[in-house]
Chains A and B, each alone.
Chain A
Amino acid sequence: MTIETPVFEESVVEVEPARGPMDWVRKNLFNNWYNTVLTLAMAALFVWAALALARWLLGADFEIIRVNLRLFMIGRFPADQLWRPWVATFLIAILIGVVGGSLAATARDRAVEAGLPFTETTFRQVLSRFWPIIALVVVILAFTTTITPTLLTLLAAALGVGAYFLGRVLPRAVRRWTWGLALLLIVATYLALAGFGGLGWDDWGGLQLNLFLTVAGIMIAFPLGLLLALGRRSSLPVVRTISVTYIEFVRGVPLITLLLAGAFALGFLLPSDVRPGFVTRMLIAITLFEAAYIAEVVRGGLQAVPRGQVEAAQAVGLPTRTTMRLVVLPQALRATIPAMVGQFISLFKDTTLVSILGVTELLDATFIVNSQSDFLGQGLFVVTLAFAGLVFWVGSYTMSRESRRLEKRLGVGER
């Protein structure tokens, strides 16, 4: 008996490769009658929206933004103190530059040490990475009435770039102290803004206040949330109960409630000579709120670390604390990057809530300018809201992109 070899010729599916963009369009957008209808309808809608947007952009009067730009950026900060936010901007540009350059140099050294390929970051890559922010700065500068802000911004950019290259050429032994330099620069920034008989946080406003509340909120809430998450898993019943109670209480209350409590209850309870300023109380409320959410995000990450990791660490004799610090937390935090950045993005947008307490942050500023006698009743909300929306979108979108970048980069060691 002979066994016939089956022939599978017919089972080969003919996949015709697409030839050119026109071919792709025909295959994917016009391959049957309902796709054709949908394509045409969507194209019509798109063209209509684009035309409407273009007509609005050309026709709209942006005078309201031009006049109030300073209010949007720094709130009611006195005009004769304007040098303070500018000096702060320079210091922050240097801070970002030095830290960025030093990190890049460390990454390069590590890659060289490990014999892995390392490609230098090109100028184009930097542009494509930060284009939303660069575009936003250009848009904002387009609204300025004098040349000074543009020149000062260029100076800040030059300082940042200079600091970046300085950070890159620093020898290793010096680079180890970059964090100290960063701390020094942060203190200097604070002094520039509030030192030398200057004004306190309470005088801040506009975008500056939103950014401050976001960055300070993250920096304080993150370690606090980490401790709460660890406390929730603690073997000590007292620590565990306190952590769980705190987390569940705060998560059961809207942020506005905490802000109101910070504004009124805290102000009422504490005597006036120890009572912190208004913005400080807002920061406390935001931090306490965020810490509870970050704790839950971290808890999710801790649960994602397999049990075998702890056992392997125990088996080589690592004490519990070292195991947590060097084995569990690095893996847990990496797993939480998407959720954590999501939390940071919503914190950035939630900072607008302090406006209900009469603090002139960006969103509030874009509202109140519509009551100015020059612009009253002209329906310019759409202009000012579009501006605020653009600023928040750029911030959130950049965070989201950076998060994805970080995930990818840390993905090297994935199992």
Chain B
Amino acid sequence: MTVQADYSDATQASGEAIIELQDVDKFFGHFQALKDINMKVGLQEVVVVIGPSGGGKSTLIRCINRLEKHDNGRIVVDGIDLSDDVRNIQEVRRETGMVFQSFNLFPHLTVLDNVTLAPRQVRNMAKKEAEALAMQMLTRVKIPEQARKYPGQLSGGQQQRVAIARALAMQPKVMLFDEPTSALDPEMIKEVLDVMVELARGGMTMIVVTHEMSFARAVANRVVFMAEGEIVEVGTPEHFFTDPQETRTKLFLSQIL
């Protein structure tokens, strides 16, 4: 892969930008969760977002698929400008997959039905076709044998991998991960990270909120450090390990590394 851009700037993306945020603000009442965020993510780029809790990381990615509505600025995903138009929102959500900290699998559906639900309902896929696709995705996350079980019968790590398969089944162009390993027992973190690393190496565009610096070191093109709703520092993983500039960054890294 050729490095074309200077990674120290959040507005720079390698190659063609697929996500673009311009002057984005987000308020919860009087509390400003996002302050004037400018950011671009390139096609096939992996961006890891780190920072203290309450710093706006989750809000940032939740704005990208409109689980939260931004108050000012522009968010463009794959050429679609996020507005109040329901069709635009639906279109963006079809292009972006999301993985949550608490899995949020549908407990009343089997693993297979969890994965086929959206392709059948949103893409109007036939049952057989959707199930074949789902099995393919479950194989990709290495749990095809669990297809007929219910989420409650699986371990945390398995559930999170099903959640990844569920998002992938919509064949999204971008995957958003909101602290995907924070709710997992330590011995299960690796199996989820392995799947994510493979996904990244396969060329998926990803924004990952995580504290797993090993993941950042393995596949991230850029690391974004956020605190108090602002982007404080941007750089390669190497930059963060060897030469962080800002005081807040150094303080945070000293706590997690």
| Interfacial residues, chain A to chain B (CB-CB below 8 A) | 113-116, 306, 308-309, 311-319, 322, 326-327, 330-331, 334, 412-415
Selected contact of B151 from candidates A327, A330, A415, CB within 8 Å: A415
- Nearest residue (CB) in A for B95 is A317
Interface residues of B in 83-105 (CB under 8 A from A): 90, 93-94, 96-98, 100, 102, 104-105
Contacting pair B122 A312 (CB below 8 A): no
The count of residues in chain B whose C-beta lies closer than 8 Å to any C-beta of chain A is 31
A309 to chain B, nearest CB (A): 6
Interface string of B50-65 (1 = CB under 8 A from A): 0000000000000001
A96 to B3, CA, bound (A): 70
Interface string of B113-136 (1 = CB under 8 A from A): 000011001100000000000000
A312 to B102, CA, bound (A): 10
B165 to chain A, nearest CB (A): 11
Contact residues in A for B152 (Cβ distance below 8 Å): 412-415
A322 to B166, CA, bound (A): 17
A412 to B121, CA, bound (A): 24
Contact residues in B for A315 (Cβ distance below 8 Å): 65, 67, 93, 96-98, 100, 167
Contacting pair B122 A114 (CB below 8 A): no
Provide 8 A-B residue pairs closer than 8 Å at the C-beta atoms, listed in order of the A residue: A114-B110, A311-B100, A312-B163, A314-B65, A314-B93, A316-B166, A318-B121, A327-B106
A316 to chain B, nearest CB (A): 4
Contact residues in A for B30 (Cβ distance below 8 Å): none
Contacting pair A413 B108 (CB below 8 A): yes
- Nearest residue (CB) in A for B149 is A114
Contacting pair A316 B117 (CB below 8 A): yes
Contacting pair A316 B106 (CB below 8 A): no
B183 to chain A, nearest CB (A): 11
Contacting pair B107 A319 (CB below 8 A): no
B144 to chain A, nearest CB (A): 13
A313 to B152, CA, bound (A): 18
- Nearest residue (CB) in B for A311 is B67
Contacting pair A326 B121 (CB below 8 A): yes
B184 within 8 A of A: no
Contacting pair B108 A116 (CB below 8 A): no
Contacting pair A115 B148 (CB below 8 A): yes
Contacting pair B117 A114 (CB below 8 A): no
